[in-house]
Structures are given as C-alpha cells and as structure tokens.
Structure 1
Amino acid sequence: MRLLPALLLCVLLPAQAAVYSYVDKDGNRVYTDQPPKGVKATKVPVTTTNNLNQQGQPSRKLSPTPSTPPVQTPKAAPFRYQMLRILVPEPDATVIDQEGQLIVSLVSEPELQPGHSYRLLLDDKEAGAGRSPVFPLGGLDRGTHQLVAEILAADGTVLERTPAQPFHLRRPSLEQKRRAHPCIQGDWGKRPECPLDMKPPEAKKSWLPFL
C-alpha cells in the first residue's frame, strides 16, 4: 500500500516527464519525478503512453498517421497507327457482280502489330475479323452499302477506325447480261446466262447450192 501513491504518480505523469526510482531508509522502493537531494536515484525508462492526463481525464486519442499511398506506375500509351484505309473497293465505287460477291482489302501504316487485329463492319454490323487485311464477302444485296475498318487491341479496344466508306452493288439479271453480251454458239451451256434450254434450234442445211 505504501507503494501505491508512487505508482499512481508514475501513471499520471505526462509522457515527457522523467521518472526516478530509489530505496528509502526503510528499504521501500519509491518512484518519483523529483528525487530528494543526496539520495542515489535511478532514472526509469518509460515505454508506454499514459491513458490519463494530469487531471485524471482520458487523454485524447491521436489520429493514426495516414499511410503513404502506393506509387502507381503510369500505363503505357496505346500504340498509334499513322494510317488505316480501305484499299478495295474505292470510295463510292460501283461493283457489278451477279452473285453479290466482293473482296475488301485494307492497308495500314505501320503494319499490324503483334496482338492486334482487323475488324470490318458492313452497314454497322461485323462482317469479319482477324489479322488478314483481306475480307471476302458474299450474298450482298443490290444497292448502296457502308464499309468501316478498325484495328483492335488484344483487349478489344479500338486503336484506329476509318470513316464510313460507301460503295454501290449492282447485280444484273441474266436477261440484262444476255442483252449486254449476246450468247454465241460456244457460249450455250457455259455461261450462266446462256443455258442449253434456251439455245435456239440450229437451222437445217440446204442442199440447193449443190444442185
């Protein structure tokens, strides 16, 4: 019990105050911040922070020091292409094909990089994708269509895109083709517009010139 006041004094001292310890004449261990003169006292290291201030009230908790946010490495800028163009067909070109077929060819500068791919859009719908710059199309309807070419990164990001480029498709009928290019003797059964069932009967040879 005699040591209790000294221990309470030690607890209530500010964290900055020094604490000393000595043995009095009765052999008791005493703790104080002001040892008596002529007494050999030892400074006691304080390793904990008091929870009570000098008035006996709970001390104010200090906010934890905010941790330094991790350094974020800036993302590399995406690769940029200098040029992407639809080479075939040319802008506003008229394509004539009975079956509605068309070969679309693209060109880029620089050439396609590893992990990238081309994508072709026909009338706002995907018509093909891959690393080849050549796209065969078939079954196209007559009329005007729009082509758009894109270059995609591996994650699907569009790196380059062409403006919409129109072309016009004409699918002439067989009758129109026969009129433009009449069938001759060797065409029957060989050209689609010259079927054998439409071949006119051959004129019978006359023997009159030999009589």
Structure 2
Amino acid sequence: MSANPKHVWLHWPLICVLMLIGHSAVAEVYTYIDAEGNRVFTDQPHKNAKKVDIAPSNQIRSAPKKPSQASSAKPKPGPLFHYQLLRILAPEPDSTIRDIQGNLIVTVTNDPELQPGHVYRLLLDGKVYGDAGRSPVFPLTNIDRGTHLLSIEIVDQYGRVAERTPNQPFHMMRISLAQKRLANPCKNEEYGVRPECPIKDKPPEESSILPFF
C-alpha cells in the first residue's frame, strides 16, 4: 500500500525544521510557500520568507568529570614498625665453615614475630643474596674461600628497611677430602658415613685367629 502524498507533505516541514536545528544550534530558520504551493523551510533568507521562532534547547551539557584525587592517590605508608630484636643465629660471629662445596645455612631470629607484609633479605658482603622471603632460613651455596660478611634486613611492604643486623664475619675454608681426612682421621665406623671416608678406603680388619704352625 503506497503512502498518501499529501500525508507525506504534511510531515515534511517538521522533518526539515528538525534537520536545520540539528545542523546548527545558532542558525536562523525561514519558511515560505513556493510556486507549487509547498511550504519550504530554509536557513537562507528568501523573498516573502518569514523567520521561524525556535525554542531554546533544554539539553544541559555536563562538564567533563575530573579524575578523583582520592581514587588516583596511592595509600600513604604509616609509621615504620620496629623490632626489639633481630640477629643471626648461625653461623656464629667470626666462625669458620669447612665445606668442600662452600655451602652453609644461615638462620635468623627476631622479636616480635615477622609482621604481615614484611620479609627477610640477606646481604652477603654488602650485596643482596637470593630472593627476599618470609623464611628465616637461608641456604648459601658455592661461597668462595676467605672471609665474608653477613647481614639480615627486615623490609616492609613499601620497601623500607625496618631493621638490619650489623655485618657479621665468617670464614669459609673449602678443603679437599684428603685434607679433611688428615685433619680428622677416619674411624672404622665412619667409613661409608663421612664423605671423606669412602668404604673402599676402609682397611681390612685383622683376624683374631692366630695362624696354625
């Protein structure tokens, strides 16, 4: 079913007005009757055209929201927590470690207990050794011969050092198996137990039976 042409022409002026308004918020609109009897709307002045009054728009443009300072600001750290005690239990200060592979275990203690978000960090000769963590036990491997300095730090969640022990010296001696066996001779029951006392080096046991002549 085709649309009624008169019905279409009745709505055409309204459509034109809306298009002109949307085209420019400040443009002036004029209307007139053309030679064929049709009403025309235009934004250009025309002979015998009348100006159309347009009501101001009630649309309110909101100002762009500024980012909230509270949401973008990082939480400020509180007062730094301090421990009453932090010290290295092992090795003891100025102790000598004898290990062929240069390995040792470092253990620490503190009071009060480690706080949430805090971690231990070990320093060997003034440099961070390994990863920081909440375990108070640090295995060290392949440490060079000579004297070294140990220190332990407790670091909070903001990277601040809450406590640190003084540098504590120890001496690493990486002696050979032969040197260890020479310094501490092997006993019969230690063969196959101590690394420097392999079972193959165990001397044969003397027989208690006297030879018969």
TM range (shorter): 0.5 to 0.7
Deviation at 1:176, TM superposition (A): 1.5
Q: Offset at 1:177?
A: 1.6
| Residue deviations 1:95-154 (CA, integer Å, cap 9, x gap) | 222222211111112111001111001112222320111111111122101011101111
1:11-66, CA deviations, whole angstroms, 9 ceiling, x for partnerless residues? xxxxxxxxxxxxxxxxxxxxxxxxxxxxxxxxxxxxxxxxxxxxxxxxxxxxxxxx
Question: Identity percentage over the alignment?
Answer: 58
What does residue 122 of structure 2 align with? 120
Correspondent of 1:159 among 128, 140, 162 = 162
2:197 partner amino acid: C
Alignment correspondent of 2:181: 178
Provide the alpha-carbon RMSD of the alignment: 3.0
Mapped partners of 2:210, 2:115: distance in 1: 78
More displaced 10-residue stretch of structure 1: 173-182 or 117-126: 173-182
1:82-103 deviations in Å (ceiling 9; x for gaps): 2221121121112222222211
Give the 3 Å change call, closer, same or farther, for CA 118–179 of structure 1 in structure 2: same
Letter of the 2:156 partner, please give it.
Answer: A
Q: TM-score, normalised by structure 1?
A: 0.55
* 2:139 partner letter: P
**Runs of 4 or more consecutive aligned structure 1 residues displaced over 6 Å after TM superposition:** none
Q: Extract unaligned runs of 5+ from structure 2.
A: 1-74
Tell me which residue corresponds to 1:62: none
Choose from 190, 209, 212 the match for 1:210. Answer: 212
Give the Cα separation in 1 of the matches to 2:83 and 2:191. 52
Counterpart code for 1:156: G
